[in-house]
Structure 1
Amino acid sequence: MLLGFEHIGMTSGDLDRAIAFYCDLLGFKLVLRKPQTQGELAFLDAGGGMLEIFAPGPGIQPARDVPQGEAGARHLTFAFTDIGTVIEQLATAGVDIIERPRRAHNQEMFKRVAFVRDPDGIIIELAERAEGR
């Protein structure tokens, strides 16, 4: 029996920078950070699942966007009560804003969405849930 979503694993070129982005700017909670044989690992709690971030050390290239026609994870989405406020905080912090808040295409699921890049170039969608979700 399925219990729920647990975590997604990611690689980062700088664990301190990733933790600062996800915890300090987006509000995640650091639940575990520990050294590995090669690098360091952290688990960050988003409230409904976690990010497992592995930083193997120097030389990690930024993430690349999944090209059209190729399978893969296109972005990570996190729900907020007010994405306008979050976007302004991220912009002030110098985060790469891809798309400012706009009306969502799938209004059954989300009212508004916005897109940014995390410090490793991964696309992050910020979403306000539709009424009743």
Structure 2
Amino acid sequence: MQAQWHHVGISVADLERALHFYRDLLGFEVVWDHPQRGGPEMAKVVGLEDVKAHMVMLKGYGTHIELFDYLSPKGKAVGSGRQCDYGLIHFALTVTGLQELYDRLVAEGVEFNCPPQVLRPGVLATYMKDPEGVTIELVEYSEGA
């Protein structure tokens, strides 16, 4: 069996706000946009009855992100205190020019835990939140790190 990483799925309350963040601020590209997906097969796969969602697949940074705006059933916020809770706590994007990206995103109102920090020689990183409170690590590796 062969397997490889494909995407992260994120449920969002405001699809336009999420698209602005991922597409316009971070530079992800829209691969496809399905305004209303559902049906019995999807209901079985996601484990929800009478499911309908506006779904958008984005690509960038060597990965994909699938945004779900559930039309039925509607989702609820899980809160911002999820960093140490069990389950997915963050995903990371490798970038170049981290300080410049950080400065641009801060100017756009993006919430960061701190400015970029040297974690060890050759590794600069910081955590930020997307509009739904999902933690994203931005990390820059110097040559040889």
For the aligned residue pairs, the C-alpha RMSD in angstroms reads 2.1
Distance in 2 between the 1:67 and 1:54 partners? 21
Distance in 2 between the 1:84 and 1:67 partners? 23
1:12–1:60 CA contact under 8 A, matched in 2: no
Matches within 5 A, 1:31-110: 31-35=31-35, 36-37=37-38, 38-57=52-71, 60-61=76-77, 63-66=79-82, 68=84, 70-105=85-120
Distance in 1 between the 2:34 and 2:104 partners? 29
Q: How many residues align?
A: 129
Q: Sequence identity of aligned pairs in percent? A: 29
**Cα drift, residue 2 of structure 1:** 2.8
1:63–1:122 CA contact under 8 A, matched in 2: no
User: Which consecutive residues of structure 2, in runs of 5 or more, have no partner in the other structure?
Assistant: 39-51
User: Which consecutive residues of structure 1, in runs of 5 or more, have no partner in the other structure?
Assistant: none
Query: Residue by residue, what CA displacement relative to the aligned partner does 1:9-53 show, whole Å, maximum 9, x if unpaired?
Result: 110111111111011111111111112242300111024221111
Distance in 2 between the 1:52 and 1:19 partners? 11
**Cα drift, residue 98 of structure 1:** 1.4
Query: Based on CA coordinates, which of the two structures has the bigger radius of gyration?
Result: 2
TM-score normalized by the length of structure 2: 0.78
Cα distance change, pair 62–24 in 1 and its aligned pair in 2 (3 A): farther
Cα distance change, pair 30–62 in 1 and its aligned pair in 2 (3 A): farther
